[in-house]
Amino acid sequence: MSDVTTVSLLDGYFKYMFGGGSINVIPQYTKLLKMIPFESAKALGRKYIFPVIVSDEQGVTFANDGSAFTLNGGISMSTQEAEVEGVEIVLQGLISYKAAASAKTDKQAFANILTQKVERMAASHARIAEYQMLYGGSGARVTAATGVNATTTVIDISAATWSAGFWAGSKNMTLQFYANNDSTLISSGADSVFSVSSVDYTTRKVTLTGTATGITALNGATFTGGGLYLYRNGAKGKEMSGLDKICTNTGSLFGIDAALYDLWKANNIATSGALTFAKVKEAVTASVQRGFMGDVTVLLPPKQFDIITTDQSALRRYSDKGKKGENGFTEFDFHGTNGKMNLEVHPMLRDGDIFIIPNEVPLKRVGSTDITFQRPNEGGKFFRQLDGRAGYEFQSYSDFAIVPEKPATLTKLSGFTP
């Protein structure tokens, strides 16, 4: 019947409004999604495999007597195969029969509903993917849990691993916690899942609800040794290795051992005390000392960016020729030993971390697809009718992981007062 809203009709409207289903408008705060290019790769089995150079050519001979000297022989560069598994992320969106019916009777009303839904899903998916690219495999730390009642508790996030950008809009996000060995789940089954009720950004406290059994287990956990590890529900062991994991790795990562190949090890710089611009410059020098020369982007959390810009403002001299003076930055450039340093704020960075990335990015996003609303292997199809429910479902989907081509050019700076 022509007056029936069908999946095909909804697919047609979606394609008319949003094209092929790719997310084209990436939020400004998702800097890594913009910075790191996506490369579609063919998986061999479950993994994407590609060669990387882990040592240079070493077949050199020296002479100073003008003779027909004997060459020492060639020592070729070494390559290893990196093995990367793409990480699938799926975000579900629902549209009721009543809302979908407006596609037949009031196209503008349906367009308004769908546009709002798609825009929020796109932003949410991009935020989730961005945080994965930063901290996949590196859980935030929880230093205490204080019970409110049988099914409510308040947790404290450590100052160094607090990320205001992660917690923004987090109400109803579900979480799991692991003991300070980062392997033992707190409670089990449904009791191990906790829901965010509210967030206090000033005190870094998050109010959670859960089952009575789960709340009792969380309150009674051991918080020594840095505290518990926090992950999104079901994410532990299924995340990509984010920038933090790459920069702090000292062993095997993507099938290559950094203990054997120095070029596979990034620069993990620990400092102390208050952050200064001089400390940032010293961290940039770490990659220069390992052979890198070129422009870099320095990503800082908002709190530390303010400290650095204040530091820089104190060094500026203003002319008295004009009637109005202006100051302040959203980003700024500085020339150092490497070349140009572009300092930018990243709202999803943890307060205790700074990352330094060459502008000729030695990172890539490898997988089967970037973020899209199109159902895999079903060109032009976006919706499906729900089983046993009065509505339709559509999804945003991505399948990729970030991988480093030259970890030795990447740097993490931490240890300063968060």
% of the chain with per-residue pLDDT over 70: 89
Helices (H) and strands (E) in the chain, counts: 9, 21
What six digits make up the tokens of 176?
């799991």
Helix H or strand E encompassing 118: helix 107-135
pLDDT at 19 over 90: no
Query: What pLDDT, on the 0 to 100 scale, is given for residue 332?
Result: 61
Q: Which of 407, 43, 58 is nearest to 261 (CA)?
A: 407
Give residue 317's pLDDT band: very low, low, confident or very high (50, 70, 90). Answer: very low
Query: What pLDDT, on the 0 to 100 scale, is given for residue 2?
Result: 41
Roughly how many angstroms between the first and final C-alpha of the chain, as a whole number?
A: 63
CB 346 within 8 A of CB 297: no
What interhelical angle do 277-288 and 302-313 show, nearest 10?
Answer: 100
pLDDT at 311 over 70: no
For the residues 72-88, what does the mean pLDDT come to? 81
For the residues 329-334, what does the mean pLDDT come to? 62
Q: Which of 54, 274, 294 is nearest to 284 (CA)?
A: 294
The larger pLDDT score, comparing residue 234 to residue 331, is at 234
Pure H helices in 194-237? 212-219
Query: What pLDDT, on the 0 to 100 scale, is given for residue 405?
Result: 84
Query: What pLDDT, on the 0 to 100 scale, is given for residue 10?
Result: 81
Query: What pLDDT, on the 0 to 100 scale, is given for residue 330?
Result: 55
Query: What pLDDT, on the 0 to 100 scale, is given for residue 322?
Result: 46
Query: What pLDDT, on the 0 to 100 scale, is given for residue 324?
Result: 39
Give residue 153's pLDDT band: very low, low, confident or very high (50, 70, 90). Answer: very high
Query: What pLDDT, on the 0 to 100 scale, is given for residue 22?
Result: 61
Average pLDDT score over the chain: 86
Query: What pLDDT, on the 0 to 100 scale, is given for residue 8?
Result: 83
Q: Which of 277, 291, 30 is nearest to 165 (CA)?
A: 30
pLDDT at 321 over 70: no
pLDDT at 240 over 90: yes
Phi and psi at residue 200, to the nearest 5°: -105, 105
pLDDT at 304 over 60: yes
Give residue 412's pLDDT band: very low, low, confident or very high (50, 70, 90). Answer: very high
Q: Which of 186, 199, 187 is nearest to 156 (CA)?
A: 199
Q: What is the pLDDT of residues 82-95, one digit of tens each?
A: 888 889 999 998 88
- At a CB cut-off of 8 Å and minimum separation 6, what does 28 contact? none
Residue type, 275: L
Q: What is the pLDDT of residues 273-286, one digit of tens each?
A: 999 988 998 998 88
pLDDT at 79 over 70: yes
For the residues 15-32, what does the mean pLDDT come to? 70
Query: What pLDDT, on the 0 to 100 scale, is given for residue 21?
Result: 61
Helix H or strand E encompassing 394: strand 391-404
Q: What is the pLDDT of residues 86-139, one digit of tens each?
A: 899 999 988 888 888 877 777 777 777 788 888 888 889 999 999 999 999 999
Give the SS3 label for residue 298: strand
Q: What is the pLDDT of residues 336-378, one digit of tens each?
A: 666 788 899 999 999 999 999 998 877 888 888 899 888 877 7
Query: What pLDDT, on the 0 to 100 scale, is given for residue 23?
Result: 60
Helix H or strand E encompassing 280: helix 277-288
Q: What is the pLDDT of residues 34-70, one digit of tens each?
A: 888 888 876 656 677 777 777 777 888 888 888 888 8
